[in-house]
Chains A and B, each alone.
Chain A
Amino acid sequence: MSGVGLDPRTAPTFPMAAKTMLGDTQLRKNVRHATDVIQAKRARVVAEMPDWQQLREAGKQIRQHTMEHLDFYLEEFEANCTRAGGVVHWARDAEEARRIIVGLVKASGSDEVIKIKSMTTEEIQLNSALEAAGIHPFETDLAELIIQLGEDRPSHIVVPALHKNRQQIREIFQKKMNLPELGERPQDLADAARMFLREKFLRVKTGVSGANFLIAETGGVCVVESEGNGRMCLTLPETLITVAGIDKVVPRFQDLEVLLQLLPRSATGERMNPYNSIWTGVNAADGPRTFHVVLMDNARTEILADEEGRQTLNCIRCAACQNACPVYRQTGGHAYGSVYAGPIGAILTPQLQEMKHAQSLPYASSLCGACYEVCPVKINIPEVLIHLRNKVVKQNTAGVAGFFDVEASAMKAMAMIFRSERRFRAAQRLGRVAEGPLVHKDGRGEGWIGWLPGMLGGWTQVRDLQEMPKETFRDWWEKRAANGR
């Protein structure tokens, strides 16, 4: 996968990318296995919570309230973080965020940084910006390390290397850590990673992190993780730079009571994350001496301004929707051409980008609703997908181009037919005549269509279509009434 950009501006459309991924049986097996395991764990720990639905509702309310007063809570966060000795920076977009962070790393005097897993730094492609500035980033989250060493791209929000199996990971470690004798037990792989990373933890003086939550009331930052590598990054360096989307803020410390129950159960099927780190500013006796927070907008205020799309910002990045999504489970994450894959990627990416770069993503769903069912903050993803489809259609049918859009013309014609009973009946009759040449009789004397032209050809790749019956329901009904029933 290396070299395949996850930039929706350059990535192929979802159906094309999906076709490629569907041919990769190993990847599909890995994705299927991993999502099955996580889903089963999630179902188990959710089932043991009698108040899960109330918790979800509470989570939704907290997030919704925050988004409605985002400006207020961001300012509160800034004031409290500054008071505790942190420095807050505001970044309008990815470019500005990169510039600020590269500048801060340089000012720290280091040409290396240790990083903990952060989707935001993936979103802004920070690693390549650091490298271009002569700074070497080391990923310390195990899965991100695998991705970095394998010159790959993440395919999952929580488990970025979910598409790789143990054997593939071993090969990457053997090659990149220069360990030809490496064993294949999970223990061997973990030991190798530990040896590799420990040296970096002790040497590198600058850390870069993301954030799960920013707490307005205290100015604190919260990161949850499973390995403890994150905590090393947060505590060992002299300079710590945290970058977070402005949507990460929560009003009160107490809100974590709800969110830190919802997140781990939804994400990894754990009752609690093994490591929950919350730090507030700096302390002369311990931890980093210098602490920066970069608050990044990058199209989030535009999403906020869109009443129907707004709920997208409630996301707490648990990836439960990804694991549950039948489309994601078939294709894995790379087909989405975006760091955010699965249902949340299908709604978030088009909104982070200009719509014209992410036209196919709103359609990468059968609207089955499995994502909505598991979302811990009750984001109605199907509803947002339909809203975005409407935006795509409006964009494609605007102006002269609209007249030449085949789909739009067909849809408009159909809509016109449905607006009149007379036209509808005529279309039913016409359909029977028009399909005639395509119909073949099968062994039982039934008529079937095995090939359809143009756009509809997708249907007949693997399916037949039964011939239309001789009589519609309404014809039957009328005859029956005429016969006195």
Chain B
Amino acid sequence: MRVSLFITCYNDTLFPETGKAVVRVLERLGHTVEFPTGQTCCGQMHYNTGYQAEAMPLLARFVDQFKGAEAVVVPSSSCVAMMRDHYPKMALALKDKELQRQVDELLPKVFEFSEFLTKRLGLEDVGAYYPHRVTYHASCHGLRNLVLGDGPMRLLKAVRGIDLVELQGLEQCCGFGGTFAVKNAEVSSAMLAEKTTAVLNTKAEACTACDNSCLMHIQGALHRQRTGVKTVHLAEILAGDQGVAL
């Protein structure tokens, strides 16, 4: 299949390893990968913080970059949630009939990375090897908006060498919430403390998720506390080959 990547602005800038891992997995599975270079940001930060007007042009930009794609894969559950929950409404508000049509046509082809593997390709075992103790954090957007269910867990279970430990309070928000972490820093920190305690209780070497934004926030605290526990995007685990280092 011809797969178009929407890597997202923060993965592009801060977590290029995640993008590379997505490419590695998809190519290993025999797919052709494309990267439309004009892509930037889905508009989530603006939209969710109340700057809807600023998010509007990013919708047209996204559609323009990806129209005609066979499938669009996005390694970020919150960005996909942004598109599914808000793009149709935004197109409607813009009163642009052609844009509405394009959005309706494009959205069913947009998948979060793990969702693409399990739901679109019907896979569980993608031939990965990752000999480490790992726990999985279900991001709120993946859990509730995208209803990923146990998809990511099934992918992880099929990884060879992995020692998978379940996280207590899986459905609890980590407290990131985009600008929430800045605007309500104290409450966000209190929520984060619960999450990192749960992660440490698993004695895992690494915590994984389908969203680097939650992971950046969790990793920030794990590093501050000098725990030595890492965070790693699900794609990087699935890209793991023989003897990969943590």
Q: Which residues of A approach B to under 8 Å, CB–CB?
A: 14-15, 18-19, 22, 326-327, 330-331, 360, 362-370, 372-373, 383, 386, 389-394, 408, 411-412, 414-415, 417-421, 424, 428, 431, 442, 448, 450, 455-459, 461-466, 468-469, 471-478
* Cβ–Cβ contact B183 & A458, under 8 A: yes
* Cβ–Cβ contact A415 & B54, under 8 A: yes
Of B16, B50, B183, B191, the most chain A CB neighbours within 10 A belong to B50
Residues from chain B with a CB closer than 8 A to the CB of A476 are 16, 19-20
* Cβ–Cβ contact A468 & B13, under 8 A: yes
- Select A364's contact among B11, B144, B184, beta carbons within 8 Å: B184
Q: Could you jot down 6 A-B contacts, CB within 8 Å?
A: A14-B184, A389-B48, A418-B58, A428-B13, A458-B183, A477-B35
* Cβ–Cβ contact A421 & B186, under 8 A: no
Say whether, besides A15-B183, A18-B187, A366-B173, A472 and B46 are in contact (CB < 8 Å): no
CB distance from A364 to the nearest CB of B (A): 7
Say whether, besides A326-B175, A468-B14, A473-B16, A462 and B192 are in contact (CB < 8 Å): yes
Asked whether B31 is an interface residue with its Cβ less than 8 Å from the other chain, the reply is no
Asked whether B154 is an interface residue with its Cβ less than 8 Å from the other chain, the reply is no
* Cβ–Cβ contact A424 & B180, under 8 A: no
A-B contact count (CB 8 A): 187
* Cβ–Cβ contact B177 & A372, under 8 A: no
* Cβ–Cβ contact B50 & A393, under 8 A: yes
Residues from chain A with a CB closer than 8 A to the CB of B179 are 363
Of B143, B179, B193, the most chain A CB neighbours within 10 A belong to B179
Of A392, A394, A465, the most chain B CB neighbours within 10 A belong to A465
Residues from chain A with a CB closer than 8 A to the CB of B183 are 15, 360, 363, 458
Residues from chain A with a CB closer than 8 A to the CB of B137 are none
Chain A residue at smallest Cβ distance from B35? A477
Chain B residues 1-19 with CB under 8 Å of chain A are: 7, 9, 11-17, 19
Say whether, besides A389-B49, A474-B37, A463 and B180 are in contact (CB < 8 Å): no
* Cβ–Cβ contact A474 & B12, under 8 A: yes
Of A392, A417, A456, A461, the most chain B CB neighbours within 10 A belong to A461
Say whether, besides A415-B54, A461-B189, A456 and B46 are in contact (CB < 8 Å): no
Asked whether B41 is an interface residue with its Cβ less than 8 Å from the other chain, the reply is yes
Residues from chain B with a CB closer than 8 A to the CB of A458 are 181-185, 188
* Cβ–Cβ contact B144 & A368, under 8 A: yes
Say whether, besides A389-B48, A459-B181, A419 and B61 are in contact (CB < 8 Å): yes
* Cβ–Cβ contact B178 & A367, under 8 A: yes
A152 to B220, CA, bound (A): 39
Residues from chain A with a CB closer than 8 A to the CB of B176 are 366
Q: Which residues of B approach A to under 8 Å, CB–CB?
A: 7, 9, 11-17, 19-20, 35, 37-41, 43, 45-52, 54-55, 57-58, 61, 85, 140-141, 143-145, 171-173, 175-193, 216-217, 219-221, 223-224
A429 to B173, CA, bound (A): 32
Say whether, besides A366-B175, A366-B176, A461-B189, A473 and B182 are in contact (CB < 8 Å): no
Chain B residue at smallest Cβ distance from A456? B182
Residues from chain B with a CB closer than 8 A to the CB of A450 are 224
Main secondary structure of the interface of A (DSSP, over half): helix
- Select B13's contact among A14, A415, A472, beta carbons within 8 Å: A472
A456 to B221, CA, bound (A): 15
CB distance from B80 to the nearest CB of A (A): 14
Say whether, besides A414-B46, A415-B51, A469 and B182 are in contact (CB < 8 Å): no
* Cβ–Cβ contact A390 & B20, under 8 A: no
Of B51, B171, B216, the most chain A CB neighbours within 10 A belong to B51
Say whether, besides A326-B175, A424-B40, A459-B181, A366 and B191 are in contact (CB < 8 Å): yes
CB distance from B124 to the nearest CB of A (A): 26
* Cβ–Cβ contact B172 & A326, under 8 A: yes
A292 to B55, CA, bound (A): 50
- Select B224's contact among A362, A464, A472, beta carbons within 8 Å: A464
Residues from chain A with a CB closer than 8 A to the CB of B14 are 466, 468-469
Chain B residue at smallest Cβ distance from A416? B54
Residues from chain B with a CB closer than 8 A to the CB of A15 are 183-187
CB distance from A141 to the nearest CB of B (A): 29
* Cβ–Cβ contact B180 & A363, under 8 A: yes
* Cβ–Cβ contact B57 & A390, under 8 A: no
Say whether, besides A418-B9, A474-B12, A326 and B182 are in contact (CB < 8 Å): no
Residues from chain A with a CB closer than 8 A to the CB of B19 are 473, 476-477
A56 to B223, CA, bound (A): 43
* Cβ–Cβ contact A330 & B190, under 8 A: yes
Chain B residue at smallest Cβ distance from A421? B38
Of B11, B16, B37, B85, the most chain A CB neighbours within 10 A belong to B16
* Cβ–Cβ contact B140 & A415, under 8 A: no
Say whether, besides A326-B172, A389-B49, A474-B35, A418 and B40 are in contact (CB < 8 Å): yes
Chain B residue at smallest Cβ distance from A386? B48
CB distance from B173 to the nearest CB of A (A): 4
Chain A residue at smallest Cβ distance from B12? A473
Residues from chain B with a CB closer than 8 A to the CB of A417 are 40
Chain B residue at smallest Cβ distance from A388? B50
Of B12, B17, B54, B184, the most chain A CB neighbours within 10 A belong to B184
* Cβ–Cβ contact A414 & B45, under 8 A: yes
CB distance from A91 to the nearest CB of B (A): 33
Residues from chain A with a CB closer than 8 A to the CB of B43 are 418
* Cβ–Cβ contact A22 & B190, under 8 A: yes
* Cβ–Cβ contact B16 & A472, under 8 A: yes
Say whether, besides A18-B187, A330-B190, A418-B40, A370 and B12 are in contact (CB < 8 Å): no
* Cβ–Cβ contact B173 & A326, under 8 A: yes
A476 to B23, CA, bound (A): 11
* Cβ–Cβ contact B144 & A373, under 8 A: yes
* Cβ–Cβ contact B13 & A369, under 8 A: no
* Cβ–Cβ contact A463 & B192, under 8 A: yes
Of A363, A408, A462, A468, the most chain B CB neighbours within 10 A belong to A462
Residues from chain B with a CB closer than 8 A to the CB of A475 are 16
A408 to B54, CA, bound (A): 10
Residues from chain B with a CB closer than 8 A to the CB of A428 are 12-13
A364 to B186, CA, bound (A): 11
A414 to B143, CA, bound (A): 28
- Select B220's contact among A366, A383, A459, beta carbons within 8 Å: A459
A408 to B53, CA, bound (A): 12
A428 to B43, CA, bound (A): 17
A330 to B190, CA, bound (A): 7
CB distance from B227 to the nearest CB of A (A): 12
- Select A411's contact among B39, B46, B190, beta carbons within 8 Å: B46
Chain B residue at smallest Cβ distance from A18? B187
